[in-house]
Chain A
Amino acid sequence: MEFLTDIALLLDSTIRTATPLVLAGLAGLVAERSGIVDIGLEGKMLAAAFAAAAAAAVTGNPWAGMLAGVLASMFLALIHGYVSIAQRGNQIVSGMAINIAVAGLAPTLANFWFHQGGQTPLLGDDARFSAIVLPFAQSAESVPIVGTIYAEILSGHNFITYLTVAVIPLVAWMLYRTSFGLRLRAVGENPEAVDTAGISVTKLRYQAVLIGGMLCGLSGVVLSTGMGAGFIRDMSAGKGYLALAAMIFGRWKPVPTLLACLLFGFVDALQGRLQGEDLPLVGEIPVQFTIMLPYVLTVLILAIFAGRMDAPKASGIPYEKDH
């Protein structure tokens, strides 16, 4: 029975760690499907984490935190959009600039406002999105297997994780079932076709970038006010890049991207479990190696799959009328 509980805890932790990855992965997916490469996910996530924690700390209200986080991320997305769409700048440079700027700016502002060495104050339970225990979870615990799954794995997550469960089909529906989605996918493949059909390439791409900014903002919000209880320096820890890798592994499609994020989440949860454990044959693995796991997996996946031709064809290429 202990083994089963271990598995249940592992899966529970997978869902928790996968939440920001899924949100950021979908953010990247929407942006890239419109032809805008979004390597600035990391920076936007971190900015949203900081803004959310700061606003929640000041107001004591997690919803104020969510609003601030999402707005911060959308603001950065707008800058990225302006550089990539209006100014036809290099999208990688713009994205990296956002990442680097936020990595320095967030702790600096935190220090300036809160004087806690670059962190925000610890959030009380009222100021963050704490675990929601689903109805009947307590009583269901006694039912074998089904009850365990319900109580241990599905119940007890924060609001944003449940929101994410709703966001996934919403994004897929938008992309594949609406005319807006058709146009958005078209503009990432062949903007000229969209332009000659009389639709504004610029407007579509701004819309996509802003939707991406919103989703990415939520991923930051969950980091500092859902999973954590405040902002700490570099708390995104490369999750933006992981999400990007998951999106590539997921071939720029919502469901495969979700699965890739869950895989990354699982590996991350696994490495947490493995820390300090004595494994048969190998003994105890140094913690530095276990922490490496998700990143090693990213490198491997990208090395194997990055060269494939599934990327939106116009991704990363500024649209210029007539050439």
Chain B
Amino acid sequence: MEQPFAIETRGLSKHFGDVRANDELSLIIPKGTVHGIVGENGAGKSTLLKMLFGFYRPDGGEVLVDGVSVQFQNPMDAMGKGIGMVHQHFMLVEPFTILENIILGAEGSSDLKAAKAKARAELRELEEKFGFDLPFDEPVERLSVGVRQRAEILKALYRGAETLILDEPTAVLTPQETEQLFGLVRQLKAQGKTVLFVTHKLNEIMAITDDVTVMRAGKVVAVRKTNETSAGELAELMVGAKVARAKSREETGEHKVRLSLDSVSANGDRGHAALKSVSLEVRDGEVLGIAGVAGNGQTELLEVITGLRSVSEGTLRYDGNVIANAAMMTDPITLRRMGMAHVAEDRLKTGVVDSMSARENAILGYQREADFSARGLLKLKDIAARAAAYFESQDVRPRNPNLPIASFSGGNQQKLVIAREIARDPQLMIIGQPTRGVDIGAVTKIHDQITELRNKGKAILVVSADLDELLAISDRIAVMCEGEVVGTLKVEDADEQTLGLMMAGEKRKVG
């Protein structure tokens, strides 16, 4: 009989309403290997992990551990079968010491002192075996992210983990901490443990894994031996091909620079350098696409442009006027009045208020304008009329503006948001992920709308994780990697392979 696998899934499926988060996933992870899982946000990685460690129950298919079919009711069951999970957001109690965190729930004695003494002895062995050196009596809140992560890994090992799932383990680490983590992963493998390494950073997959599974839209699209693939190929597989047919682009004549970024740097939420000396220009009558694997500075770029994040260095200009530099920034309302419109990347977080009706969302952000209010009172009839007009022109369904926006599909929400943002006839459109969570039918319509605006001479910047989308609607494509623009290509010169390599940071090009 062949050697059983550490983890195997057969036709594993999970649905949320109509959304197939995981669709018939079949996965094989041999014992003692480091196995990578890559995919864009929303590809279904988290759902898969949650089923593997017992947080979700599958709707179909099965999970096998060591060749035996298992049914986890909760994370305890998974732990009992030797599956340990290190979450992206650590499951640590911050005021507690590392030791207290490690024994929490596995104290083995009701007397805390005895429990700690017992754990300390057992941990010493593990420390030696895997080369940890952790300050056990230090409260977690005083420790660096890297140390916290090692504490999480030790916690899983202490509970008898044979297979460790690391969910986006490097998302919050510095390069040095990442190196340290890789060292630990190699040590784990040397001691016979199996590691599932989930990420969307391709260079890490190339550096640390033996095999890699690529997920897209809830499915496994490819399995590769790491040494037989390349970051470029993986990038291509991750973003995949989608049907997209854009309206023909017309010559737009005079190209005036509408928005320019001159060596702009900015810090991310965790204080790290998210944008590093980014220079870009968006001209009237063109679509500038921003490509890149998620998390390489695109979000911060959108925020800097739309007045939601301050810059630490460099200058942003709108129509030649400074709108932001290290000393000042312009607030979103003013930017909007200057002629900038923003279709937010994270629709539910910043694009709409999900508990409010579609009618109210249709004017959100413009409610103070004379069309919609007078002397501090909303003009309810005018607002209703406007919402109804948007519903008609954009074919938003169901045709009922009084429903809460949350009850519409992603595509219909997006159509409404776009209608709202173009209603003021803006000169510059900033669009994040124009078709994320949007059904295929609506994709074409949204692409056509963007092209139409471009043909009317508007300047448009589009950030998208979907390469085919960018290739279909952009005039030029700038590629971001690790906070930098690694190159800008004319769309005629761009193809998926080239862009894939640039996204992986392996190739630079200035066009």
Interface, chain A (partner B; CB < 8 A): 176-183, 185-186, 189-190, 192-199, 313, 321-322
Contact = CB atoms under 8 A, between A and B. Distances in A.
A179 B107 contact: yes
Contacts of A322: 50, 55-56
Given A178-B112, A186-B93, 7 more contacts: A179-B109, A179-B115, A182-B103, A182-B104, A198-B76, A199-B105, A322-B50
A179 B93 CA distance: 14
DSSP class of B's interface residues: helix, strand, loop or mixed?
A: loop
Contact of B93 (A177, A193, A195): A193
Interface string B101-115: 101111101111101
Interface string B53-77: 0011000000000000000001110
B306 to A, nearest CB: 26
B277 to A, nearest CB: 36
A190 B112 contact: no
28 contacts: A177-B112, A177-B113, A178-B111, A178-B112, A179-B107, A182-B100, A182-B103, A182-B104, A182-B107, A182-B112, A185-B93, A185-B95, A186-B93, A186-B104, A189-B94, A189-B95, A190-B91, A192-B91, A193-B93, A194-B105, A196-B75, A196-B85, A197-B104, A197-B106, A198-B75, A199-B104, A321-B55, A322-B55
Given A186-B96, A190-B91, A313-B94, A197 B111 contact: no
A193 B112 contact: no
Nearest to A197: B105
A177 B111 contact: yes
Interface of B: 50, 55-56, 74-76, 79, 85, 87, 91-96, 100-101, 103-107, 109-113, 115
A193 B55 contact: no
Contact of A179 (B55, B79, B91, B111): B111
A43 B105 CA distance: 34
A86 B358 CA distance: 32
Contact of A183 (B75, B94, B95, B104): B104
A185 B107 CA distance: 14
Contact of B112 (A179, A196, A197, A313): A179
A317 to B, nearest CB: 15
Nearest to B50: A322
Nearest to B102: A197
B91 A193 contact: yes
Contact of B110 (A179, A185, A190, A195): A179
A16 B98 CA distance: 42
Contacts of A183: 104-105
Contacts of A192: 91
Contacts of B74: 198
B94 A190 contact: yes
B104 A194 contact: yes
Contact of A180 (B94, B95, B110): B110
A267 to B, nearest CB: 31
Contacts of A181: 112
A198 B112 contact: no
Nearest to A181: B112
Nearest to B53: A196
A194 B92 CA distance: 9
A178 B93 CA distance: 17
Contacts of A179: 103, 107, 109-112, 115
Contacts of B91: 190, 192-193, 196-197
Nearest to B46: A322
Task: Please name the 5 residue pairs, one residue from A and one from B, whose CB atoms are nearest each other, closest first.
Answer: A197-B105, A198-B76, A179-B107, A193-B91, A186-B93
Nearest to A187: B93
A321 to B, nearest CB: 8
Contacts of B105: 183, 194, 197-199
A179 B50 CA distance: 28
Contacts of A189: 93-96
Contacts of B76: 198
A185 B104 CA distance: 10
A166 B112 CA distance: 21
A190 B75 contact: no
A176 B112 contact: yes
A322 B87 CA distance: 12
Contacts of A198: 74-76, 79, 105
A178 B107 CA distance: 10
Contacts of A176: 112
Contacts of A185: 93, 95-96
A62 B420 CA distance: 71
A186 to B, nearest CB: 5
A199 B95 CA distance: 19
Contacts of A197: 75, 91, 104-106
A280 to B, nearest CB: 48
A92 B246 CA distance: 54
Nearest to B92: A193
B104 to A, nearest CB: 5
Interface centre among A185, A190, A199 (most CB of B within 10 A): A190
Nearest to A190: B93
A216 B249 CA distance: 74
Contacts of A313: 94
B199 to A, nearest CB: 20
Nearest to A313: B94
Contacts of A321: 55
Contacts of B110: 178-180
Nearest to B79: A198
A296 to B, nearest CB: 32
Nearest to B100: A182
A181 to B, nearest CB: 7
A192 B104 CA distance: 12
Contacts of A178: 110-112
Contacts of A195: 75
Contacts of A190: 91-94
A230 B75 CA distance: 52
A193 B92 CA distance: 6
A198 B162 CA distance: 18
A190 B76 CA distance: 17
A195 to B, nearest CB: 7
A181 B110 CA distance: 9
Nearest to B155: A197
A161 to B, nearest CB: 29
A252 to B, nearest CB: 11
Contacts of B101: 193
Contacts of B93: 185-186, 189-190, 193
Contacts of B115: 179
A193 B111 contact: no
Interface centre among A194, A196, A199 (most CB of B within 10 A): A196
